[in-house]
Structure 1
Amino acid sequence: MTAIAVGLRDPRTLVSQDVWERLVKLIMRDHDMGLELAERTFGQTLAYLVASAENPGTPMGPTAAVDLGVHTFVLDTPRYIEFCQTYAGRYIHHVPLLDEERGGEAKVLRGTIQAVRNAGFHLDHELWQATDLDCNQCYAGCHDSPK
């Protein structure tokens, strides 16, 4: 049997250096974060969005920590739309749930974490805490839900 070395996907390669730097600065500004945490947040945001794009129809949602990066990216619409077209071929919707629509967050979070890992990304355990069960703010997941 031959062992094959498999490398992890690097979120920094998913966007240009200019986009990376811009979004990290926006996350730092909008969420009062230092550089290191903002970079980790944006990296996990990109990993989550690619995993969502690669698993259409699968309910997925970010933790509150990763959602900060998602919101910042969605608001920078030109760069977000370009990213969506490149990795999903469509707009990746982000639709919050109302309290009465919630349920099954733990299962969705576990599935999201597994999808991020299966997509070949490093999982930042601090940002994806499994104990953060109040995390899925989207109808049927944030990956593509225009309802």
Structure 2
Amino acid sequence: MTTTDTTKTAYDLISPELRAGLITMVREDSWPEMTDEQGERGVTQMASFLATAAGTTEKATPSLRVDVFWHAFVLHTKSYADFCEALGCGFIHHVPDRNSGPNPEEGRAAMRRTAHLMREAGFDTDPEFWPADGAADCTQSYAGCSDSPVAK
């Protein structure tokens, strides 16, 4: 399967209506200046992140921008559960880690590992959603969120 086919498959598991709703929700809750095009790319990056998380036993950590889309998606419990089931992995749990304290260096390293896993899985990583080393907004607002590879 090519990168385009893989990304399209994960993205297509989210209906156009739900994608539009997620974009609206993210715009209203945390990113008011986001364009529709950025929103579509955000949904694509989130779907790619979740498909990667579904296919690995390693901990996957989203960037802050990907995480806001994941938060919005999780609130659509039925659609989110259906998406996870369609990936064939069971429910992908969202696991916040508020106890370890913010550590920008660790956050950047975790995101680099996750972006690498995504590329290995055949997905493209959008630099606006996976900031380069040293970018100011590349770690979580608190210690971070990840999937739960043990709980799969």
Range of TM-score over shorter length: 0.7 to 0.9
User: CA RMSD, aligned part only?
Assistant: 2.6
Which is further off, 31-40 or 66-75?
Answer: 31-40
Alignment check: 8 A CA contact 1:10 1:121 kept: yes
Look up the equivalent residue of 1:22 and give its one-letter code.
Answer: L
- Which segment is superposed worse, 26-35 or 85-94? 26-35
Gaps of 5+ in 2: none
Pick aligned residue for 2:124 from 112, 122, 125? 122
Are 1:113 and 2:118 matched, yes or no?
A: no
Deviation >6 Å, runs of 4+: none
Write the letter of the residue equivalent to 1:106. Answer: R
CA shift, 1:133, in A, is 4.1
Task: Tell me the SS of whatever aligns to 2:43.
Answer: helix
Please say which structure displays the higher CA radius of gyration: 1
Q: Describe the shift of the 1:38–1:19 C-alpha distance in structure 2 as closer, same or farther (beyond 3 A).
A: same
Distance 1:24 1:116, change over 3 A: farther
Report how many aligned residue pairs link the two structures: 139
Tell me the residue number matched to 1:61: 61
Shift, 1:117, TM fit: 0.6
User: For 2:35 and 2:65, how far apart are their aligned partners in 1?
Assistant: 14
Structure 1 gaps of 5+ residues are 1-5
> Would you say the 8 A contact 2:56–2:149 is kept in 1?
no
